[in-house]
Amino acid sequence: MTGCYTCKRHNKAGERVSARSPCGICGGFKMDNRVTAILYALFAAAFYAANAPVSKLLLTRIPPTFLAAFLYMGAGIGVELMLILNKNRERTEKLTSADLPYTVGMIVLDIAAPILLMIGIQAGSSSNASLLGNFEIVSTTLIALYIFRESVSARLWVAIGLITLSSCVLSFEGSESFRFSAGSLFVLGAALCWGFENNCTRKISTKSTYEIVILKGLFSGGGSFVIALLLGETFPKLSDAFYALVLGFFSYGLSIFLYIRAQRTIGAAKTSAYYAVAPFIGVFLSFVFLREALTPRFLCALFIMAVGTAFVVLDTLLQRHTHLHTHTFVHTHDGTAHRHTVIHAHPHNHYVHKYRHKHYHTLEELEKGLL
The residues that bridge with 360 in the sheet, in sequence order, are 18
> Has residue 137 got a pLDDT over 60?
yes
Task: Report the alpha-carbon distance of residue 227 to residue 50 in Å, rounded.
Answer: 25
206 and 92 Cβ atoms separated by less than 8 Å: yes
- Which pLDDT tens digit goes with each residue over 294-303? 788 888 888 8
Q: Across all residues in the chain, what is the average pLDDT?
A: 78
* Alpha carbons 40 and 30: distance in angstroms, whole number: 15
User: Alpha helices of 249-362 — where are they, by DSSP H?
Assistant: 255-275, 278-289, 296-317
**Residue 345 backbone phi and psi in degrees, to 5:** -135, 140
The pLDDT > 70 percentage for the chain reads: 71
Three-state secondary structure of 170-197 = HHCCCHHHHCCCHHHHHHHHHHHHHHHH
Report the predicted TM-score, pTM, of the whole model to 2 decimal places: 0.73
**Sign, Cα dihedral of 78, 83, 85, 88:** positive
Task: Please name the residue ranges forming H helices in the chain.
Answer: 28-49, 51-58, 64-85, 100-123, 126-132, 135-146, 154-171, 182-203, 209-230, 238-248, 255-275, 278-289, 296-317, 363-368
**Residues 239-260, mean pLDDT to the nearest whole number:** 94
pLDDT bin (cut points 50, 70, 90) of residue 14 is very low
Q: How confident is the model at residue 357 (pLDDT cuts 50, 70, 90)?
A: low
Categorize the per-residue pLDDT at 258 as very low, low, confident or very high, splitting at 50, 70 and 90.
very high
Q: Tell me if residue 320 falls in helix, strand or coil.
A: strand
| CA separation for the pair 120, 187 (Å, rounded) | 5
**39 close to 261: Cβ distance less than 8 angstroms:** no
Q: Note the pLDDT of residue 320.
A: 57
Give residue 340's region: left, alpha or beta (phi > 0; psi -120 to 50).
beta
The packing angle between helices 100-123 and 209-230, to 10°, is 40
Question: DSSP 3-state assignment of 290?
Answer: coil
Over residues 242-252, the pLDDT tens digits come to: 999 999 999 99
